[in-house]
Amino acid sequence: MQTLHAGAPPGPARWWLALRGAAARHVLLVDALIAVVPGGSIVWGTLGEMSGPSGRPGWPGTLLVTAAAAALLLRRRAPLRGFAASYGATLAFLLLGYPFGPVIQLAGLAMYAVAAWTPTRTSAAVCAAAAACYLPLEAVYRWTGKPPFTALLLTAAWLVLPWLLGAGVRAYRAAVAEAAAADRRESAYAERLRIAREVHDVVGHSLAVISMQAGVALHVLDRGPGPPPDVAEALRAIRTASTGALGELRAALSDFPGPDGTRVPPPGPGPGLDRLPALAASVAGPALDVDVVVEGERGSIAAPVDLAAYRIAQEALTNVVRHSGARRASVRVAYDQAALRLTVTDDGPGAAGGARGTGRGLAGMRERAAALGGTLHAGPRADGPGFEVAAVLPRGGAAA
């Protein structure tokens, strides 16, 4: 059996998650650093060269680099406007005769932001338009001083490669979001399945008891003109079973979220093994005796295990009422240090026809046990006529 641990991520992932969390909490600071660090290094590194061939002063170039860097502050909120400003300032910087070089990094960062934060088709069109605008100017002014093919490669390096990287990041984010949505859908489905199983167990058991007790009442009434005491007992059992079913059904359905996403707390804790005597009493009647035997100290039992054990006993007794034709049934609970052992047996001939060997009820019991790391066996008794359901559940559930 494979066990999944939802603990702390491994070492290499922890620092990365911490860095991402810090960046998400200080978005403006991160954007400011992205704008200031490359912009400042470009101004500082090329300030001595910011004089055109005709002795042009360096301050216009400084202003253009500053504008191209400041436009990066818009990379999240308005990436298209930020790229337009950064790209325009870069072209103006080159058209004024300042040197081709690190200044193109600013427009490349802006292109990455466009690809990462806008639809792929839009960003691809922007990248193609920017390249189509730059290449003719490069052919005329020869900013790079390289042959045309090399200039084309440089264009790909400072425009296309950032676009590819940003588009890849956008696709990764979309895949992560889709995986998270799929996990939410799977969790919602599992929750609906759990609630449906609870409804099946509650309603199926109670309706079986109601049917049996009503049949007993009708049979007794047919035997004589007066209402014997057995009729009142059977009718009281019908009332108890139906009332309990309605209460448990409300508790199970209260787990559904409301329109605002909040959950209504259940009216009380779910049933557990402490309610076995009441469960046996609801099933027992003139035609069926049910005994409950408890061995060992109950101690600490995880709530899901307690509920699952009760539901397994409930479903097993429901099958006794429906299919067995038994006169006696027994529910035995044995507690040991690591697990609880639940056994439900009857002496009915119904198992010979295979009516209880297959079906949704037995499959549901096995699923409940397996979900908690336990086991369940159901089949004809080895020590005589009848049927047996035997479950072993760890005290702490699947983690035990």
pLDDT tens-digit profile of 281-304?
Answer: 888 877 788 999 999 888 888 888
- pLDDT for 121 equals 94
Torsion sign across C-alpha atoms 152, 154, 155, 157: positive
Any domain includes 320: yes
Asked if the structure places residue 299 within a domain, the reply is: yes
Amino acid found at 238: I
Residue 138 has pLDDT above 50, yes or no: yes
Do 42 and 168 lie in one domain? The reply is yes
Does residue 202 lie in a domain region? no
Q: What average pLDDT does range 263-276 have in this prediction?
A: 69
The more confidently predicted of residues 197 and 105 is 105
Per-residue pLDDT at 243:
65
Residue 190 has pLDDT above 90, yes or no: no
Identify whether 223 is part of a domain.
no
Q: Judge contact between 191 and 219, C-beta under 8 A.
A: no
pLDDT class of 239 with cuts at 50, 70, 90: low
Most confident among 46-55, 203-212, 220-229, 270-279 (mean pLDDT): 270-279
**Mean pLDDT, the chain, as a whole number?**
76
Q: What is the CATH number of the domain that holds 371?
A: 3.30.565.10
Report, as an integer, the average pLDDT of 220-249.
66
How many angstroms from the chain centroid is the CA of residue 53? 63
29 and 159 assigned to the same domain: yes
Clarify whether residues 168 and 317 are in a common domain: no
Residue 149 sits in the same domain as residue 297:
no
Residue 267 has pLDDT above 70, yes or no: no
**Domain final position from 183, 207, 233:** 183
Q: What integer is the mean pLDDT of 10-31?
A: 53
Q: What contacts 24+ positions apart, CB below 8 Å, involve 31-37?
A: 31/72, 31/73, 31/75, 31/76, 32/73, 34/72, 34/75, 34/109, 35/69, 35/70, 35/71, 35/72, 35/73, 36/69
Q: Is residue 253 part of a domain?
A: no
What integer is the mean pLDDT of 55-64? 69
pLDDT of amino acid 353: 42
Range of the domain at 62: 13-183
Asked if residue 193 belongs to a domain, the reply is: no
The domain boundary, picked from 183, 214, 240, lies at 183
Q: How many domains does the chain have?
A: 2
- CA-based nearest residue to 150, from 139, 141, 160: 139
Task: Identify which has the larger pLDDT, 343 or 33.
Answer: 343
pLDDT of residue 394: 92
In a domain, 347, yes or no: yes
Indicate the residue among 183, 200, 223 that finishes a domain. Answer: 183
Q: Judge whether residue 24 has pLDDT over 90.
A: no
Task: For residues 189-200, give the mean pLDDT.
Answer: 72
264: in domain: no
Strands 289-295, 339-346: pairing is unpaired
Residues 177 and 296 in one domain: no
Judge whether residue 339 has pLDDT over 80. Answer: yes
Contact 59, 46 (CB under 8 A): no
pTM of the model: 0.48
Q: How far apart are CA 398 and CA 391, in angstroms?
A: 14
Is 221 or 90 the better-scoring residue by pLDDT? 90
State the pLDDT at residue 69.
Answer: 80
- From CA 138, how far away is CA 97, in angstroms rounded? 12
Q: Could you tell me where the DSSP H helices lie in 47-119?
A: 59-70, 79-95, 104-117
The larger pLDDT score, comparing residue 113 to residue 217, is at 113
